[in-house]
Amino acid sequence: MNDLQHYTPGPANLARVQKDRRQNGEDKWTLVLVRELRHSPEKVWQALTDPVHLREWAPFDADGTLGTVGTTVKLTTVGAPTPRITETTVTRADAPNALEYNWGGFDMRWQLEALGGGTRLTLWTNIGRRFIAMGAAGWHICFDVLDHLLSGAPLGRMVGPEAMKFGGWQRLHAEYARQFGIEVLNWPPQSAQKS
């Protein structure tokens, strides 16, 4: 049973942006999201690496575990009109502390730090500047869904165009765009939005 109709995301305060200069002179934008969870690093690690858990909260499905260095896994986007399948190799898996892989051109770096009885989870992912507020809103909701899942009160996965129709996503997108000093993209069209 999920309680999605009663879910309202908190304020846009989970993310920041890092801008670096690449060797070729282009700017590289990295979205950094931090979330404190009431669950042990081991429990969070399982949710980040196990395909069954990923299917409950992440914006992609995995055909294998992401918990072992050198493992090649197919990641499939969820909710997209045309799902994109990307083959990735896990480049770092230091359980339950750090995980790194590339998802369709996006470098994904996860850090888990023990914090009291819980975990400070940090995600670094590179993303185009134009889409960084959209990404922040999407990952914010994914982290909320993850927290509810680990607490035993699953909301159900909310990703892709379905999440973008959700009024909470629209609010987060606008708030993150203001924080990052970028333009709010008009997606989805106003007529497709839900509250």
Nearest CA among 73, 130, 76, 69 for reference residue 97: 69
Residue 150 to residue 54: CA distance in whole angstroms: 12
Decide if pLDDT at 19 tops 90: no
Decide if pLDDT at 129 tops 50: yes
Nearest CA among 9, 176, 11, 37 for reference residue 111: 37
Could you read off the pLDDT of 24-70 as tens digits, one per residue? 777 788 999 999 999 999 999 999 999 999 999 999 999 999 999 99
DSSP string covering 154-182: ------HHHHHTBHHHHHHHHHHHHHHT-
Beta bridge partners of 106: 103
DSSP string covering 26-94: -EEEEEEEEEEESS-HHHHHHHHH-HHHHHHHSSEEESS-S-STT-EEEEEESS-SS--EEEEE--EEE
Q: Which residue has the higher pLDDT, 131 or 73?
A: 73
Could you read off the pLDDT of 172-184 as tens digits, one per residue? 999 999 999 988 8
Residue 49 to residue 142: CA distance in whole angstroms: 15
Q: What pLDDT is stored for residue 195 in this prediction? A: 41
- The CATH code of domain 4-192 reads 3.30.530.20
Q: What pLDDT is stored for residue 187 in this prediction? A: 57
Which whole-number Å values give the CA distances from 186 to 18, 82, 126, 165, 189, in the listed order? 24, 20, 22, 11, 6
Q: What pLDDT is stored for residue 14 in this prediction? A: 86
User: b/e string for 5-31 if b means 16 or more Cβ within 10 A?
Assistant: eebebeebebbebeeeeeeeeeebbbb
Token digits of residue 192 = 């497709």
Q: What pLDDT is stored for residue 4 in this prediction? A: 65
Confidence of residue 3 (pLDDT cuts 50, 70, 90): low
Decide if pLDDT at 1 tops 80: no
Could you read off the pLDDT of 62-110 as tens digits, one per residue? 999 999 999 999 999 998 778 889 999 999 999 999 999 998 888 999 9
Question: Which residue has tokens 């909701």?
Answer: 141
Confidence of residue 2 (pLDDT cuts 50, 70, 90): low
Q: For the chain, which residues make up each domain, given as ranges?
A: 4-192
Q: How far does CA 166 lie from the centroid of its chain? A: 16
Which whole-number Å values give the CA distances from 167 to 33, 76, 185, in the listed order? 21, 25, 15
Q: What pLDDT is stored for residue 151 in this prediction? A: 95
